[in-house]
Amino acid sequence: MASASSGTLPIRRALLAVDDKRELPEFARALAAHGAELWATTGTRAALAEAGLTSRPVEELTGIADWFGGRVKTLHPGVLGGVLAPAGPAGEEELARRGLLSFDLVVVNFYPFEERAASHPGDPELVEAIDIGGVTLARAAAKNHARVAAVSDRSEYPALAAELQREGGKLTAETRKALAHRTFLRVHAYDRRIAQELAGPASSTGFPAHLELHRETVRMRYGENPHQSAERYEIGGEGGTALEPLPLRVLKGASLSYTNLLDLDTALSIVAEFPTPTAAVVKHATPVGVASGLTAAEAVRRALATDPVARYGCVVALNRPFEEETVPELHGVFVDLLAAPSVHPAALAGVERRSKLKVVEAAPPRIDRPRWEGRTAMGRLLLQEYDTRQLRPDELKPVTSRRASPEDACALDFAWRVVRHARSNAVVLANGSATVGIGSGQPSRVKAVEMALEVAGSRSQGAVLASDAFFPFADGIEAAGKGGVKAILQPGGSVRDPEVIAAAERLGIAMYFTGWRVFRH
């Protein structure tokens, strides 16, 4: 048995008990090649046998088969004793006295609770997807990393196999400590997701960050909008622990900056709103042009055309692959960063000479999964749910005698999906499935309307308008009418709604209320 200070640990006996058996046979083969004796639970042992690998059953150590439909199979001193026995003579003596075998490596992964909860939230049968034995084994091995290597993620297999080859069947103390660290992070994330599910959909305890956070005793009423829950935290401890890698890959250019990430997050969140090929052009974390098209190239061309001035030094995101035919659409435009779910080698070669352009592969986030965002204020971290609420057709309340045509109704929906990502006060003008003017970050709503109209110019004639919050006065409606806007979508709820509606009626503008706002400060 290796001591805590012995450095490298020979892997002579390994316990394998996994739910996800992908890539396990290859790793087990590497273990066996270096003389490790393999022990496995029933299902894992069957997968190894199918791959031509021999293993011994844990029942030899426990004297029991799977109890209660598999709920109890490794929760036994015959297994846990061999994992938790301390390093040194005293541990070896007690193992021998009790007739137990020690394990140098434990490979586990957990029942896929997160995936099942995502697809069947609230299902009472989800409790059967809560892993107990695997989590217990993982914690035990990670605690005892002085003499046991804990592997809780199949992504670790290739690097560990390489180290076994390099170190002659051994793993270093540094590797075992790193594995223990990642195992406890995995256990933490797993248990937090279970707690979130059990708390129910109204809970906001699911903030998925590995930080030492202390919830304030004063609860926040809601997030940026009333339908977004939020919490206020104080960061404690000295530093945080490692987070998962960012879900992107830099293919060209320098590493991404703080503002790059903010702009990229906004751009990807926008294109995630649309099922058709869509491009978003973003500056200072607010959209300056968004468009859909039959192809990604058409979407990029139309999005960039919204504001030829504001697009300088922009971020462009696509919800389709970046391919060679899109490259010409970037000609003459200074783009700082371009992102797409995938990048064709010919497209990458086509922008190779653009020395300042960064190109990354990054997929838009799934809008059906919970997301969180945070800012700081008064020395506190403010957290809220990301706004993913979708506008339903039955939420549009017509408040004028004129109605939008089906085409204009689609354009209103498009504009609403964009305005929720613009900085308040925000107004978006759209013609079909492309923006023609965006006014954002203004202290008054009429200024946002005027800015959008200025950007649009003559393109405002016949356009539609979406506003992220209500019009407090009729002046914004008057300005829109002068610009030729024919339909407006806004939350409503102002004490002056009758005046606002009357102005739209007089100008022949079709106007609809949603009943809820989409502020983004």
pLDDT (tens digit, 9 = 90+) per residue, 351-379? Answer: 999 989 999 999 898 887 777 788 888 87
Residue 200 predicted with pLDDT over 90: no
Single residue among 175, 197, 219 that ends a domain in this structure: 197
* Same-domain pairing of 352 and 397: no
Domains contained in the chain, number:
3
Residue 212 predicted with pLDDT over 60: no
What is the CB neighbour count within 10 angstroms for residue 190? Answer: 20
pLDDT at 203: 45
The answer to whether 34 and 168 have CB atoms below 8 angstroms apart is yes
Query: What CATH number should be reported for the domain holding residue 427?
Result: 3.40.140.20
pLDDT tens digit sequence for 483-513: 999 999 999 999 999 999 999 999 999 999 9
Single residue among 361, 385, 419 that ends a domain in this structure: 361
34, 143, 252, 344: which is the annotated catalytic residue?
A: 143
* Same-domain pairing of 273 and 410: no
Over residues 73-86, mean pLDDT: 86
Of residues 451 and 100, which shows the higher confidence score? 451
The reply to whether 284 belongs to the active site is yes
pLDDT at 234: 52
* Same-domain pairing of 160 and 18: yes
- 314: buried, middle or exposed (CB in 10 Å: 19+, 13-18, 0-12)? buried
Residue 241 predicted with pLDDT over 60: no
Residue 286 lies in a domain: yes
pLDDT at 276: 96
pLDDT at 2: 44
pLDDT at 92: 86
pLDDT at 136: 93
Residue 237 predicted with pLDDT over 50: no
Residue 233 lies in a domain: no
* Same-domain pairing of 37 and 155: yes
Q: What is the three-class DSSP state of 350?
A: helix
* Same-domain pairing of 36 and 79: yes
Q: What is the three-class DSSP state of 465?
A: strand
pLDDT band at 121 (very low <50, low <70, confident <90, very high): confident
Residue 251 predicted with pLDDT over 80: yes
pLDDT band at 222 (very low <50, low <70, confident <90, very high): low
The answer to whether 280 and 306 have CB atoms below 8 angstroms apart is no
Residue 447 predicted with pLDDT over 90: yes
Residue span of the structural domain in which 438 resides: 393-513
Cis peptide bond N-terminal to 425, omega within 30? yes
- For residue 162, CA distances in Å to 30, 33, 157, 394, 485 come to 9, 12, 9, 58, 65
Residue 483's contacts (CB-CB under 8 Å, 6 or more residues apart) are 429, 449, 453, 456, 460, 461, 463
76, 210, 252, 284: which is the annotated catalytic residue?
A: 284
0.85 exceeded by the pTM? Answer: no
Residue 236 lies in a domain: no
Provide the mean pLDDT of the chain.
88
Residue 243 predicted with pLDDT over 60: no
Residue 205 predicted with pLDDT over 80: no
pLDDT band at 221 (very low <50, low <70, confident <90, very high): low
- Best CA proximity match to 464, nearest among 483, 447, 478: 483
Over residues 51-67, mean pLDDT: 87
Residue with tokens 């869509």: 278
Q: Both tokens of residue 203?
A: 């809970």
Residue 452 predicted with pLDDT over 90: yes
Residue 385 lies in a domain: no
Q: Both tokens of residue 290?
A: 């968004």
Distance CA 351, CA 370 (A): 35
* Same-domain pairing of 25 and 167: yes
Residue 308's contacts (CB-CB under 8 Å, 6 or more residues apart) are none
pLDDT band at 328 (very low <50, low <70, confident <90, very high): very high
Rg over CA atoms, the chain: 29
pLDDT band at 202 (very low <50, low <70, confident <90, very high): very low
Distance CA 278, CA 290 (A): 7
Over residues 452-459, mean pLDDT: 96
Main-chain dihedrals φ then ψ at residue 25, nearest 5 degrees: -55, -40
pLDDT band at 208 (very low <50, low <70, confident <90, very high): very low
Strands 427-431 and 434-439: antiparallel
Look at 143-147, 226-230, 495-499 and tell me which has the smallest mean pLDDT: 226-230
Q: Both tokens of residue 44?
A: 């894992």
Residue 195 predicted with pLDDT over 90: no
Residue 412 predicted with pLDDT over 80: yes
Residue 345 predicted with pLDDT over 90: yes
DSSP at 343: B
Over residues 172-181, mean pLDDT: 94
The answer to whether 282 and 263 have CB atoms below 8 angstroms apart is yes
Over residues 109-131, mean pLDDT: 86
The reply to whether 447 belongs to the active site is no
Residue 50 predicted with pLDDT over 90: yes
Q: What percent of the chain has pLDDT over 90?
A: 64
Over residues 208-212, mean pLDDT: 43
* Same-domain pairing of 126 and 275: no
Over residues 62-81, mean pLDDT: 81
- One-letter amino acid for residue 67 of the chain: W
pLDDT band at 232 (very low <50, low <70, confident <90, very high): low
Residue 64 lies in a domain: yes
Main-chain dihedrals φ then ψ at residue 384, nearest 5 degrees: -150, 160
* Same-domain pairing of 354 and 405: no
Residue 216 lies in a domain: no
* Same-domain pairing of 267 and 398: no
Q: Give the 3-state secondary structure of 276-336.
A: CCEEEEEECCEEEEEEECCCHHHHHHHHHCCCCCCCCCEEEEECCCECHHHHHHHCCCCEE
Over residues 421-447, mean pLDDT: 95
- Best CA proximity match to 193, nearest among 269, 250, 111: 111
Single residue among 361, 381, 406 that ends a domain in this structure: 361
Q: What is the three-class DSSP state of 387?
A: coil
pLDDT band at 244 (very low <50, low <70, confident <90, very high): very low
pLDDT band at 233 (very low <50, low <70, confident <90, very high): low
Query: What CATH number should be reported for the domain holding residue 95?
Result: 3.40.50.1380
Distance CA 269, CA 71 (A): 41
* Same-domain pairing of 68 and 188: yes
**How many alpha carbons fall within 13 Å on the CB side of residue 90?**
2
Residue 239 predicted with pLDDT over 70: no
Residue 31 lies in a domain: yes
Residue 372 lies in a domain: no
Residue 225 predicted with pLDDT over 80: no
pLDDT at 258: 81
- Best CA proximity match to 488, nearest among 504, 472, 503: 504
pLDDT tens digit sequence for 14-38: 999 999 999 999 999 999 999 999 9
Main-chain dihedrals φ then ψ at residue 374, nearest 5 degrees: -140, 155
* Same-domain pairing of 146 and 46: yes
* Same-domain pairing of 131 and 188: yes
- Best CA proximity match to 417, nearest among 485, 472, 362, 489: 489
